[in-house]
């Protein structure tokens, strides 16, 4: 029944569907132009090696800037800036349709009789979900892999992508699901090394 529902959603929802973030983009632009452009231009939002690759990372970066500038932005003002930056540059909330597509393919893959082929499909879907920063979905699919070795390699890939996106709780969660104690400790050390002070990691 669940698989039928997801397939129905895939048919009904366009792939570019997204849920808009709360906040006032115009108000966010005014706040941004008044408080942010004195330190940097818009090039930091579009550079290839940008730090922000997920909404949690965007929120974290804004909090850092707010602290460094000793600003006292209200939660509403912060959300307005996030909405402006996301609408104008990042568009990080525009992946809902892709997540539905990945889940539908995941739910359909259980019918594949060959374990090797099924694992291959699952691993590809994990990669797609992780690159789209849907780490919860990536972790869920990775848990369905029948090969422990492949499962650990896949969790390591999720950790890598989550650290790049500065989604440290997701990275921690993926690392702790690894079956090899040595690999698990190796990944946890990588997370600790990449995680800035005072960042909640779920540990």
CA atoms of 197 and 199, how far apart (whole Å): 6
What pLDDT, on a 0 to 100 scale, did the predictor assign at position 146?
93
Contact 82, 21 (CB under 8 A): yes
The pTM assigned to this predicted structure is 0.56
Of the two residues 19 and 65, the one the predictor is more confident about is: 65
pLDDT tens, residue by residue, 142-178: 999 999 999 999 999 999 999 998 899 999 999 999 9
- How many Å is the maximal CA-CA distance in the chain? 59
> Residues with Cβ < 8 Å from 12, sequence gap 6 or more?
none
Q: Residue 70 corresponds to which tokens in the numbers above?
A: 């000793």
SS3 127: helix
What pLDDT, on a 0 to 100 scale, did the predictor assign at position 15?
37
Instruction: Determine if residue 200 is left, alpha or beta; phi over 0 gives left, psi from -120 to 50 gives alpha, anything else beta.
Output: beta
Mean of all residue pLDDT scores within the chain? 82
């Amino acid at each position: 029944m669940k698989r039928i529902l997801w397939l129905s959603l895939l048919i009904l929802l366009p792939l570019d569907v997204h849920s808009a973030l709360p906040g006032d983009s115009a108000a966010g632009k005014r706040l941004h132009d008044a408080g942010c452009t004195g330190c940097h231009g818009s090039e930091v939002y579009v550079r290839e090696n940008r730090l922000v690759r997920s909404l949690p990372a965007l929120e974290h970066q804004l909090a850092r800037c707010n602290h460094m500038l000793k600003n006292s932005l209200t939660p509403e003002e912060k959300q307005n800036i996030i909405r402006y930056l996301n609408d104008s540059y990042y568009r990080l909330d525009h992946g809902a349709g892709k997540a539905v597509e990945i889940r539908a393919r995941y739910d359909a893959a259980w019918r594949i009789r060959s374990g090797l082929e099924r694992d291959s499909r699952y691993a590809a879907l994990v990669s797609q979900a992780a690159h789209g920063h849907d780490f919860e979905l990536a972790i869920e699919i990775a848990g369905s892999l029948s090969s422990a070795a492949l499962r650990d390699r896949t969790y390591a890939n999720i950790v890598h992508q989550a650290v790049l996106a500065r989604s440290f709780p997701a990275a921690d969660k993926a690392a702790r699901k690894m079956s090899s104690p040595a690999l698990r400790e190796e990944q946890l050390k990588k997370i600790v090394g990449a995680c800035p002070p005072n960042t909640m990691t779920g540990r």
